[in-house]
Amino acid sequence: VPAAHATPLIATIVIGLVLAFIFGLAAQRLRISPLVGYLLAGVAVGPFTPGFVADSSLAHELAEIGVILLMFAVGLHFSLNDLMAVRSIALPGAVVQIGVATLLGMALAWALGWSIAAGVVFGLALSVASTVVLTRALQERRILDTERGHIAVGWLVVEDLAMVLALVLLPALAGQGAGGGLTAQIREALGLDSAGLGGLVATIGITIAKVAAFAAVMLIAGRRLIPWLLHHVAHTGSRELFRLAVYAIALGVAFGAAELFGVSFALGAFMAGMVLSESQLSQRAAEEALPLRDAFAVLFFVSVGMLFDPGVLLRDPLGVLATVLIVVVGKSVAALLIVRAFGHPIHTALTISASLAQIGEFSFILAGLGVGLGLLPTEGRDLVLAGAILSILVNPLIFAAAEGGRFIHVRPFTLRRPRPAAAPLPAATPVPAASSAPEPVPAPEAEPAPEPPPHEVVVGYGRVGAVIGAGLRAAGRRVVVIEVAEDALAAARQDGAEVLEGNAADPEVLAAADLGRAARLFVTIPEAFEAGTVVEQARAAQPRIEILARVHSDAAAEHLTGLGASTVVSGEREIALRMLERAIGPNANLEQGSV
């Protein structure tokens, strides 16, 4: 097929996504996880099955993008405090689990007659869970933001760090180990002299120093620079640039981290996300700008499937079985015991065990390097791959089992959990005063006597803006609407409003609404960042104008009030109060401090 040969990148993306879609849909139909479909799609386009063969090194690189975006998104949900809060369990937990898995792997390697070095590489490869699988699993079950989820992610971060170290150390160890695994040439290429222990210690030291330097750069400079950059871009009023900024930050930091500091892409992206997570707004905004993430995550699974040689299942079924047992049972039992030993409840232990009972990308990288260095027989890599595929396949089942056990305990836990997270927020903002008015449609209230020929400016003419606009028109007001969407503009015209087409965050568009003569400005767009830009500009231009803004969270309320909104109305709160009103009557909102 000429097209596939001429454009291998496009062919890989297209065929990977199309097949993943078809197989994923089929899997869904059969009531199994779509991940299984994605993996099988990979096997189908891999070199070990007949038919089209996609370019596996390209697929692998594409998959890396998926890993970066996913890890960035995980970081967005994860603050430094979260990380610190779980370090007392995640650190020893991960270390012990890596130790146990490595020992089990060495035992299997011994049984298969491999060298000790092969056993170490093999065992390490079995000890580190896949970021993609873990985050997908936690996200799907909405436990990423629970304490269990935090422990699992923190644990994963420690494993990631350990693997970064392992990847750097392996070549050095290969130089040392077992006498003559490496030729002098390879040693030289890897920058190793035969200095032995001194060289090894230096390598460890340099690696740790690099990771520490990266962390320091991110926590000191990145923490200020990245949110500032996003904020700045948001204020240009261009959504396109904002999205671009998010991708540039996620990918740029990950790449820079790998190039400059030798840190994995995943870890770099995670840190980039984490420094953004402190501002809830930038976090939300960044998340919304990440629609590519899922597509690339799918390519990750396809690329894993591609590496798989199904033949190994026939050649060495016992080895495969033992590998899977180490990953699924051995590691889980170890994790379970550790978490319990630290006094966490059984359902926490079960969730963490289940989420870590699989292996993925790091394992392939490690096994590949081991084979390259002549430490691990290729058979070892095949076993790692088989172990990865099978453990990813059964992971949903393991989770279902673990979550089944969780059910007994889930109630007190989930009830307790959201509090600390939400604690600083409730009603601390100036929202209540405004939003406790039961009427979400602002009736003419406290009007500043209309001396000039006033008009009302409504930004956004969707579900919220249209109701306001129609109401104002019915009351005989002059209304100017700013809208981006064609159909919404048409609706505004129909209601008899004057319309301005364009993004209200664009200073020129906003200026055209002639705020100087307006009575008020209704900012009804849902996105808080954009709304903030509108409010800020309007307030700067018109210190006295009344600005009413729609919000969806306490953080957004605070943000907009800070930028100059006179009144913020929280959509969700009004919905809740209206519903509550049915049961308790219009005084339902007394609980939030009535006037």
Chain residues that interact with ligand AMP, rule: CB under 6 A? 459-465, 482-485, 488, 503-505, 524-526, 530
Q: Is 2 exposed, middle or buried (0-12, 13-18, 19+ CB in 10 A)?
A: exposed
CB closer to ligand AMP, 344 vs 550: 550
Q: How far apart are CA 226 and CA 232, in angstroms?
A: 10
Q: Least Å distance between CB 538 and ligand AMP? A: 12
Q: Cβ contacts of residue 383 below 8 Å, gap of 6+? A: 122, 312, 316, 319, 320, 323
CA atoms within 13 A on the CB side of 506: 14
Q: Least Å distance between CB 532 and ligand AMP? A: 11
Cβ atoms 457, 519 nearer than 8 A: no
- Helices 378-407 and 116-127 sit at what angle, rounded to 10 degrees? 30
Q: Is 534 exposed, middle or buried (0-12, 13-18, 19+ CB in 10 A)?
A: buried
The CA–CA distances, whole Å, from 431 to 280, 426, 520, 590 equal 17, 10, 19, 14
CB closer to ligand AMP, 192 vs 491: 491
Q: Least Å distance between CB 575 and ligand AMP? A: 13
Cβ neighbour number for residue 173 with a 10 Å cutoff:
18
Helices (H) and strands (E) in the chain, counts: 30, 6
Q: Is 249 exposed, middle or buried (0-12, 13-18, 19+ CB in 10 A)?
A: buried
Cβ neighbour number for residue 5 with a 10 Å cutoff:
8
For residue 221, the 8-state DSSP code is I
CB closer to ligand AMP, 33 vs 533: 533
CA atoms within 13 A on the CB side of 594: 8
CB closer to ligand AMP, 147 vs 506: 506
Determine the residue type at 37.
G
Question: Among all residues, whose Cβ is closest to ligand AMP?
Answer: 462
CB closer to ligand AMP, 527 vs 558: 527
Q: Distance between alpha carbon 392 and the CA centroid of its chain, in Å?
A: 19
φ/ψ region of 83 (left if φ > 0, alpha if ψ in -120 to 50, else beta) reads alpha
Determine the residue type at 282.
S
Q: Least Å distance between CB 553 and ligand AMP? A: 15
Convert 471-496 to b/e letters by CB count within 10 Å (16 or more is b).
bbbeeebbbbbbbbeeebbebbeebe
For residue 438, the 8-state DSSP code is S
Q: Least Å distance between CB 562 and ligand AMP? A: 19
CB closer to ligand AMP, 284 vs 347: 284
Q: Least Å distance between CB 288 and ligand AMP? A: 12
CB closer to ligand AMP, 238 vs 592: 238
Determine the residue type at 433.
A
CB closer to ligand AMP, 63 vs 459: 459
Q: Least Å distance between CB 244 and ligand AMP? A: 17
Q: Least Å distance between CB 541 and ligand AMP? A: 16
CB closer to ligand AMP, 242 vs 300: 242
Token pair 């200073």: residue? 507
Q: Least Å distance between CB 527 and ligand AMP? A: 6
Q: Least Å distance between CB 240 and ligand AMP? A: 12
CB closer to ligand AMP, 427 vs 512: 512
Q: Least Å distance between CB 238 and ligand AMP? A: 10
Q: Distance between alpha carbon 45 and the CA centroid of its chain, in Å?
A: 28
Q: DSSP assignment of 107-138, as one string?
A: HHHHHTT--HHHHHHHHHHHH---HHHHHHHH
CB closer to ligand AMP, 338 vs 504: 504
CB closer to ligand AMP, 406 vs 455: 455
> 220-229: which pairs have CB atoms within 8 A and are 24 or more residues apart?
222/253, 222/271, 222/272, 222/275, 223/275, 223/278, 226/253, 226/272, 226/275, 226/276, 227/275, 227/276, 227/278, 227/279, 227/282
Q: Least Å distance between CB 242 and ligand AMP? A: 11
- 3-state SS class at 456: strand
CB closer to ligand AMP, 222 vs 465: 465
Q: Least Å distance between CB 231 and ligand AMP? A: 16
